[in-house]
Copies of this chain bind each other. A is one copy, B any other.
Amino acid sequence: MPHPLAPVRLGLIGAGRIGTSHARIIAERVPGAVLAAVADARPGAAAALAEPYGAAAYDDLQALLDAPDVDAVVITASSTAHCELIVAAAGAGKPVFCEKPASMTLVEMDRALAAVDAAGVTLQVGFNRRFDAGFAAAHAAIADGAVGQVQLMRSLTRDPGLANPAAVPPWTIFTQTLIHDFDALLWLNPGASPVEVYATADALVAPELKDTGLLDTAVVVITFDDGARAVAEASFSAAYGYDVRAEVFGSGGMVTVGDGARSSLRTFTGSGAAYDTARGDVELMIDSYTAELVELVAAVREGRAPSVTGRDARRALAVALACIASVQAHGPVAVTEAQA
């Protein structure tokens, strides 16, 4: 298959934790992809990540964008830089993959969308759950009518723990974590739009950080225009590992996805039965991280839009921002208001 096709050369911007993981996936698991370049403004960071893969390293981000041997850009920088980097990549005429959130505000998001539209480049956003075998099968089953009219939904994320909670921005649980759940819920109820959210959040894991504003536990109820209600829920401290699940219930039945088992091993002893659970996001979701980058390569090659775009990112971001407004208002808020 790959032969007549030249490899797609990817330039990665941002050599942090997720950038390091994506670099390895690109190099080792994505057929037809080459990790051509890494850029990071922190001196030496790009080189450290690039070197073992034989990729070029840049401290100057624009230099990577301008490099003629970079066919597409993968943005894994700090979230606050995403909008500017999308705009810059679009300016360089390069297709873009950007980690979520693609922007921090709707104004920013619209600027990024306008830039990619003006440049005629594509923008894929890192909602990897859509590429998980279980979530994808759920989506297909729902499209097939397996649950009938959607009435009740649930999506949750439980992280085994933040490396440095004190350094985490206050609203992270909505903009970085639950945004995955919001996208999943919007995607699994196709044709419907969120009209209202109620969000409540607290610092239960690290109460001492509540004064800094860090919220580590949250519950959200979304009301859709078709009447469906969705619950999204997150915690930054799951003792048993990384936990991502979803449930969609409707007039014709229910689908559930998410299974944290590390392998098919089951152990039965004097203590009863047991199995081990996946402990990190990369372990749990490695195949979906791979599949979204396979989609990037395919979309770039075929010159087509990826299956998850900046428009999807905007919808999920609007819900996340409405959640923040809801917590501040201590009550439900319309999603349309938040979008204004």
Contact = CB atoms under 8 A, between A and B. Distances in A.
A85 B173 CA distance: 50
Contacts of A168: none
Given A52-B2, A53-B2, A228-B204, A237 B264 contact: no
B274 A272 contact: yes
A297 to B, nearest CB: 11
Contact of A263 (B137, B158, B233, B276): B137
B227 A200 contact: no
A301 interface: no
Interface string A184-204: 000000000000001010101
Given A149-B204, A205-B251, A266 B262 contact: no
A312 to B, nearest CB: 21
Contacts of A231: 219, 231, 233
A251 B160 CA distance: 10
A199 to B, nearest CB: 9
Name, among A138, A241, A253, the residue most crowded by chain B CB atoms within 10 Å (CB to CB).
A253
A219 B221 contact: yes
Given A31-B27, A205-B151, A266-B255, A240 B272 contact: yes
A164 interface: no
A167 interface: no
A229 interface: yes
Contact of A257 (B1, B158, B263): B263
Contacts of A238: 249, 254
B239 A148 contact: yes
Interface string A312-331: 00000000000000000011
Copies in the complex: 4
Interface in A1-48: 1-4, 24, 27-29, 31
Given A239-B148, A273-B277, A274-B273, A258 B264 contact: yes
Contacts of A205: 151, 251
Contacts of A133: 262-265
23 contacts: A3-B52, A133-B265, A137-B262, A138-B265, A146-B267, A151-B204, A151-B205, A151-B235, A152-B217, A204-B251, A231-B233, A235-B249, A239-B251, A239-B253, A240-B272, A243-B254, A256-B266, A257-B265, A260-B273, A272-B276, A272-B277, A274-B275, A330-B332
Interface of A: 1-4, 24, 27-29, 31, 51-54, 132-134, 136-138, 141, 146, 148-149, 151-152, 154, 158, 198, 200, 202, 204-205, 207, 217, 219, 221, 223, 227-229, 231, 233, 235, 237-241, 243, 249, 251-277, 330-332
